[in-house]
Amino acid sequence: MSQSFGMKTYMRGAALLTVAALIVKVLSAIYRVPFQNLVGDEGFYIYQQVYPFIAVFVVWTTGGVAVAISKLLADNDASSQISQRETRRGFILRVVFWYLVALAVLFFSVLYFGAPTLAKWMGDEELAPLLRTGAFIVWVMPAFAVVKGAFQSRGYMAPIAYAQIIEQVVRVSIILIGTAIIMRTTASLYDAGRIAVLGTVIGEVAGFVLLGYWYVKQFARAPHATIAMPIAPIIKEVTWFSLSVSMSSLLLLSYQFIDSFTIYTLLVDSGLEQLAAKEIKGAFDRGQPLVQLGVIVASSLTLAIVPLIAHQMKIQAEGGRSALPFIQLTYRTALLFGSAAAIGLMTVMPDINVMLFKTNSASGVLAFYMLQIIPLSVVLTFTGILQGMEKLKVPSFILGIGFIVKLSMNYFTIVPFGIAGAALASNIGLAITAILLISYSKKFIPHLANRYFHVQLIRALLAMTVSVYAVRISLLALPIASVRFHAMISAFAAIIVGAVVFITWIGRKRLLSEKEWFLLPFGRRIATYQLWLNQKK
């Protein structure tokens, strides 16, 4: 990092990047609701089958690779002589860029020319044109990752944040407007899916153009002087570090990959008609945006905790304050709100399903599917904590175990239990991953939360559940003709009452102190409420 950027500037930029990432995640989850309303469960199935193929390369390159590049460049700036820094930076960037171009050629070839084979493996050969459209996104990624990594290495987070938001806004706009036009003209669900994929490609291009413009304005062109630096170590570090860093982000995508290749084909093999299997898979995919919203707190905490813990670890090494209080707060906050989101969505699922997606299809399975929010919140939190502590290899191995469990269980559970088997496989895979991560973390983190915290959390969840069911039952007799409007009234009333009961319980029992609430976004209001609840004490 250049001398003109201190820790205060860096942390301000990191906070801005966290807010931008949060906005992006919310948009990414919410746009799927109107999209599903436009195309129905079959159309939603079509898009969700192809989406993981596009997203995996984007997440890895613009996420993991960009972080790896920023680390390489920051290490270079810290260890090189001033006269050699820019020359070495330019060399590193060129090596990584051409390495990513080679990977882009490979990924494009697999996706574009192998599209018919991949579509056949998924059991639906009409998906091939969508895969071919999505393949073009890989050509943006090499330059995008390099530019993003260069900005991060110097602490310039604002351009990255704005580019992420613009990219998502463009993407969502094209998907929804394009899909609406298609459904009013040809009404072809596969054409609508192709437009949605194209929107993702154009969104990435828009984000890169904006970031590239700022890059040209901000940085002078790197010198091309010959320099003796080994290439293999650069490629090795970029590859392994980027994969380790992005493993948690790729976790849900990897589960979606498994579902794309297994659910539809296994349902058809079990005797279900093709159209029915597509619609059931589409109904099952309704759970994806809900899970994304459920882990928003854990995701935002993870984004914020990595640089914070890394900073605190350096202070601790110099005899300063330990990082343990921040780690404990992150764990307790993620578990509190992850559990509340999971149980809350389970209890209001029939109303949420009708309100958002028009029908009550697969509500029981989706309610069960929401349980994964609890272990997923724990997994995201611990991977972030361990990443901040520079512990990457073992967590990556543990995430790989969860992937294998999910894949194996899909084959054993879907035929006898249908999509409920896929939900069971996801829940168990994530639960095993969470347990293994907690066990591994105990080597470095002696204490996370006491028994009182966990007991009171369970009681708070029970009180919330009872209150939610009471509200929903009391509103059953409302004289509202529209089923969807009735579901909306019931869902919002139940959510508000459940949230108040939950916050009141944990505030009364002080599961987080007022000082800890002040460290969290919007925590001041809850801290004030908690002080009022306990004023007699």
Write the DSSP string, 14-26. HHHHHHHHHHHHH
Q: Which two tokens stand for residue 528?
A: 């004030």
Residue 11 located in a structural domain = no
Same domain? 400 vs 324: yes
Going by the DSSP 8-state scheme, the letter that residue 60 receives in this structure is: I
| Domain contains 38 | yes
Q: What's residue 366's pLDDT?
A: 94
Q: Are residues 307 and 226 both part of a single domain?
A: no
Whole-number Å distance between alpha carbons of 345 and 244: 31
Tell me, yes or no, whether 321 lies in a domain: yes
Structural domain harbouring 153: 30-259
Answer for the pair 26, 289: CB distance below 8 angstroms, yes or no: no
Q: Does residue 12 sit within a domain?
A: no
Give CA separation, 304 vs 13, 189, 241, 256, 515, in Å: 11, 39, 19, 26, 18
Residue 428, both tokens:
């168990």
Check whether residue 167 and residue 216 sit in a common domain: yes
Note whether 115 and 179 are same-domain residues.
yes
Q: Are residues 73 and 202 in the same domain?
A: yes
The verdict on residue 269 lying in a domain is: no
pLDDT of residue 375: 93
Say if residue 162 is in the same domain as residue 296: no
Q: In terms of C-beta density within 10 A (0-12 exposed, 13-18 middle, 19 or more buried), how is residue 185 classed?
A: exposed
Residue 121 lies in a domain: yes
Residue at a domain's end among 208, 243, 259: 259
CB neighbour class for 372 (10 Å; exposed up to 12, middle 13-18, buried from 19): buried
Same domain, 204 and 292: no
247 and 298 part of one domain: no
**pLDDT at residue number 160:** 82
DSSP-derived secondary structure for 444-472: T-S-S--HHHHHHHHHHHHHHHHHHHHHH
Domain membership flag for residue 229? yes
Last residue of one domain, picked from the residues 240, 259, 278 = 259
Last residue of a domain, one of 241, 259, 277: 259
The verdict on residue 1 lying in a domain is: no
One domain, residues 166 and 244: yes
175: tokens are 């998907």
| Helix or strand (DSSP H, E) at 236 | helix 231-269
- Per the CB < 8 A criterion, the answer to whether 379 and 433 are in contact is yes
Who's near 110: CB < 8 A, 6+ residues apart?
Answer: 118
Given this model, what pLDDT does residue 321 score?
65
pLDDT at residue 422, rounded to an integer: 94
The 8-class DSSP code of residue 223 comes to: P
How far is 67 from 306, CA to CA, in rounded Å?
12
Give Cα 300 distance to the centre of its chain: 10
- Tell me which long-range contacts 357-363 makes (C-beta under 8 A, separation of at least 24): 357/33, 357/36, 357/37, 357/283, 357/286, 358/37, 358/484, 361/41, 361/279, 361/283, 362/280, 362/283, 362/284, 362/286, 362/419
Is 359 buried (19+), middle (13-18) or exposed (0-12) by CB count in 10 A?
middle
pLDDT at 293: 83
Does residue 316 sit in the same domain as residue 216? no
d(CA 413, CA 422): 7
pLDDT along the chain (537 residues), means of 10: 44 61 76 90 92 87 81 70 68 88 93 94 92 92 87 77 88 93 90 92 91 78 60 85 78 90 92 91 91 78 62 63 77 89 93 90 93 92 80 87 94 92 95 93 83 94 95 87 89 94 93 83 82 79
Residue 263: predicted pLDDT: 94
Q: Number of folded domains in the chain?
A: 2
Place of tokens 């604002």: 158
CA distances from 83 to 6, 86, 215, 226, 315 (A): 21, 7, 22, 14, 30
CB atoms within 10 A of CB 195: 23
Contact yes or no for 111/134 (Cβ under 8 A):
yes
Same structural domain, 83 and 142: yes
Residue in 30, 96, 108, 25 with CA at minimum distance from that of residue 64: 96
Amino acid 3: pLDDT: 40
Question: What's the rounded Cα separation, in Å, for the pair 182 and 177?
Answer: 9
* Whether 420 and 482 share a structural domain: yes
Q: What pLDDT score was predicted for residue 251?
A: 85
